[in-house]
Amino acid sequence: MIPDLTVRVGAALLYIILAPLVGGLVVGIDRKVTARMQGRVGPPVLQPFYDVLKLFEKENLVVATAQNYYVLSYLVFMAVAGALFFSGGDMLLVIFAFTLSHIFLVLGAYNSFSPYSHIGAERELIQIIAYEPMIILTAVGMYMVTKTFYVGEIATSTIPIIMYLPGIFIGYLIVLTIKLRKSPFDLSTSHHAHQEIVKGVTTDFTGPNLAIIEISHWYEYVFLLGVVYLFFAFNPFIAIAAIIVAYFVEILIDNTTSRVKWQLTLRTAWIIAGTLCLVNLGVLYYLQGVLTL
């Protein structure tokens, strides 16, 4: 059942308010766990919030004034995508807003004369091409199981989606590594300074604009982990545990692999993740056809 309008608006507002707090804590814990894996103490868990507040105190220097528009659009559409998702909206519309937000980030990077920024923008586009089909097929798989694209109905379904879509879940975890900007697929930029000489797609963003981009990433983290929840939504406790385990695996992969070339990123996303997804969908379609006979 799709939640009524009041519930949907309330859920959307809660996401807009709480997602940056949750996302910032996730990043802070990420840094702490990463530091422990590397034998360091690491920064405080609240360090991401300190960093963002410090960025807002700096002067907003831009190469072109249009960058202000692109960065703000990136934040707005990322927040819209998450708000639609957590309010139980149409998954296809969510994916559209999610993709559009990243297009604005790419346009902002292209609106600069720096070759480093342009290379980062090109790599960001490559990553969009790599992960976008997998996210769409994830939505298609959930539709085949639950017969709906509405997140609210998927989240309240008692069907153990993970039992029907194990291949799609593994494929989603692969592209999740791309979306979390973690090694080996952190092509356009990375959240860890030790992996960067030049900051890729965010090279020419400073001060408040860079803070807005970071907050947008926090919104994105919560949305992406929310999709993991849907696979296990039949049991909220198992779903939360799955999110924790999945994110820990992503941190482990990030700290045990080195960055690969963009060609290998595409092959991994399309051949490995794509094959797992299509085989899973094919088997599911066949079994549903047999059961209806």
Per-residue pLDDT of the chain (293 residues), as tens digits, is 555 778 889 999 999 999 999 999 999 999 999 999 988 888 999 999 999 999 999 988 888 888 999 999 999 999 999 999 999 999 999 999 999 999 999 999 898 888 888 888 888 899 999 999 999 999 999 999 999 999 999 999 999 999 999 999 999 999 999 988 888 888 777 666 555 556 678 888 889 999 999 999 999 999 999 999 999 999 999 999 999 999 999 999 988 888 888 888 889 999 999 999 999 999 999 888 776 65
Counting beta carbons within 10 angstroms of the beta carbon of residue 196, is it exposed (0 to 12), middle (13 to 18) or buried (19 or more)? middle
Query: Buried b / exposed e across 232-260, counting CB within 10 Å, b at 16+?
Result: bbbeeeebeebbeebbeebbebbbeeeee
Q: Which residues contact 150 (CB under 8 A, 6 or more apart)?
A: 2, 88, 89, 90, 91
Give CA–CA dist 24/31, Å, rounded. Answer: 11
Distance of alpha carbon 2 from the chain centroid: 24
Q: Nearest 5°: CA angle at 246, between 265 and 274?
A: 35
Tally of domains in the chain: 1
CB 115 within 8 A of CB 253: no
Distance of alpha carbon 64 from the chain centroid: 27
CB 78 within 8 A of CB 98: yes
Owning domain of residue 159: 5-292
pLDDT at 196: 53
pLDDT at 292: 67
